[in-house]
Copies of this chain bind each other. A is one copy, B any other.
């Protein structure tokens, strides 16, 4: 009887472990594989034969794994490059040593490209190994899906911090601006999602070249009208020439790239220097938003888990390789939310970046359209029942630390 391998790659999320839990649990419900091995630290550890036997993980641990943020197997930034026969052969050697026929890889664009490359290479070289992808990324930038597991929970936490800090900001009378910075180097999905709470006055995305004068005019208009201006900026916001906001203006001392909340800090200083407000508050979400378990979206954790189940189920079919499972794009955003699962070629998931749609962006930094709000709202709906221990959401000991 053959075994399978599951590994995680890229940046951790709030629900990447739920997909892992799905694969493990599916095999307990239908033992297609004799053993389910976890690869420690992604492909990097697998090449070093670092595996952990997950087959018989107790149900209670699986439940807690689903609510454990970050990557419980450990992650890596190591990329399996196309044409790297040495790594490919070593991988097959490790798989053979453990009678592993199928590898599930949970990750973002790069990992889906790895799934594509490995399955191509296996076919070309008559190697009877199969490779299946399960997507995750807080950036939400994969092309063929409606959204990507990990993003809804990051968005839900970002929305909660947006609303809480807006209330904090609103409690004061003194004139100041508030600038919140989110992750999002190339795509503004996370920053845009903050608008779902109705708290954002101005939104600065990487999808729109930054125009300082036009932006400051809008800040002035908000301050004139209400005495307040709550701004959300994506870390990747940039000028027309590609220069990041965080690299210019007041932070032009070469220190900027190391500065936490660089874009937010720069916008705040820009506003103060222009005399629009005497001061400002800056909040950077940074790492805190991407893999927490105190604001998981029920939709997200459920889908991540079910994608793990789905990948395992599909894998029972011989010849199923080079495929990735996902949630199909919604055709009608006004219809009740009803996610449709599908599997498609990994090549469609790799090497493309889906930016936030231009037609969903209101002009003059005014936020997002109603259609965009209709897209976001169901994703952040619902809260899982979290198991607490000693006042903290329970988490499992990561497998890479055992």
242-262 of chain A: CB within 8 A of chain B: 250-251, 253, 255, 258-261
- CB <8 Å contact, B283 and A160: no
- Closest residue on chain B to residue A376 by CB atoms: B391
CB of A289 to closest CB in B, whole Å: 9
With an 8 A cutoff between CB atoms, is A344 at the interface?
A: no
With an 8 A cutoff between CB atoms, is A2 at the interface?
A: no
A168 with B258: in contact, given A74-B173, A391-B156, A395-B163 (CB under 8 Å)? no
With an 8 A cutoff between CB atoms, is A393 at the interface?
A: yes
Residues 258-271 of chain A, each 1 if its beta carbon lies under 8 Å from chain B, else 0: 11110011000100
With an 8 A cutoff between CB atoms, is A291 at the interface?
A: yes
With an 8 A cutoff between CB atoms, is A80 at the interface?
A: no
With an 8 A cutoff between CB atoms, is A347 at the interface?
A: no
Contact of A400 among B160, B170, B260, B265 (CB under 8 A): B170
- CB <8 Å contact, A388 and B395: no
- CB <8 Å contact, A398 and B164: no
Contact of A171 among B74, B265, B269 (CB under 8 A): B74
With an 8 A cutoff between CB atoms, is A282 at the interface?
A: yes
Chain B positions within 8 Å of A395 at CB level: 163, 167
- CB <8 Å contact, B260 and A261: yes
- CB <8 Å contact, B292 and A170: no
- CB <8 Å contact, B284 and A173: no
165-201 of chain A: CB within 8 A of chain B: 165, 167-168, 170-174, 197
Contact of A294 among B8, B174, B295, B400 (CB under 8 A): B295
- CB <8 Å contact, B380 and A161: no
Chain B positions within 8 Å of A265 at CB level: 258-260
- Closest residue on chain B to residue A292 by CB atoms: B164
Task: Give me the interface of A with B, judged by CB distance under 8 Å.
Answer: 8, 12, 41, 44, 68-71, 74-77, 156-157, 159-161, 163-165, 167-168, 170-174, 197, 250-251, 253, 255, 258-261, 264-265, 269, 281-288, 290-295, 297, 377, 380-383, 388, 390-393, 395, 398, 400-401
Q: Can you report 18 residue pairs joining A to B where beta carbons are below 8 Å apart? A: A8-B171, A70-B170, A70-B171, A77-B172, A156-B391, A160-B392, A160-B393, A161-B292, A164-B292, A164-B293, A164-B294, A167-B398, A170-B401, A281-B287, A283-B286, A283-B287, A283-B288, A297-B391
